[in-house]
Amino acid sequence: WPRPLRHTRNCGRCLLLCPSIHFKMILRRGSALSSWVITMCIVLMSGASVYMIYNRYNLLQRSKRMVQYRKDLLDLDEKLDVFGRGVDQFHNTVDRFSRILGALAVTTAIGDTKIRSSKQASSSRFINVNAPII
């Protein structure tokens, strides 16, 4: 086994080899590099925890928005369904109305034909004025 390095006040080489000894030494007598390393670790861990909290908050907000979007889509689907039923009713009404108009047109045409034929029949009596009377 290699002999442990002698710890000096500004020791930075042994940090990777023996971190536990190094941190014990930092607690006994602090060095600038060691305190900087500890500070950076604390800052990084704080940043990571803040990032995780922010990420969790964003996920929560996103899930709330997704729930709201789903509610909005269901509401829109219901409104479109009601609108579709209204359009179907409108088509049925137009269809009935066109049938009624068609029946009226046929009835009017038949009535008109009867009136014309009766007019022609009545006027045909008076057409031949000079015809010999029998």
pLDDT tens digits along 37-49? 777 888 899 889 9
Give the Cα-Cα-Cα angle 51, 53, 54 (nearest 5 degrees): 60
Mean pLDDT of 61-82: 90
| Inter-residue contact 14 to 5 (CB < 8 Å) | yes
Q: In whole angstroms, what is the distance from residue 51 CA to residue 45 CA?
A: 10
For residue 28, the one-letter residue type is R
Mean pLDDT of 57-78: 90
Choice between 134 and 51, residue whose per-residue pLDDT is larger: 51
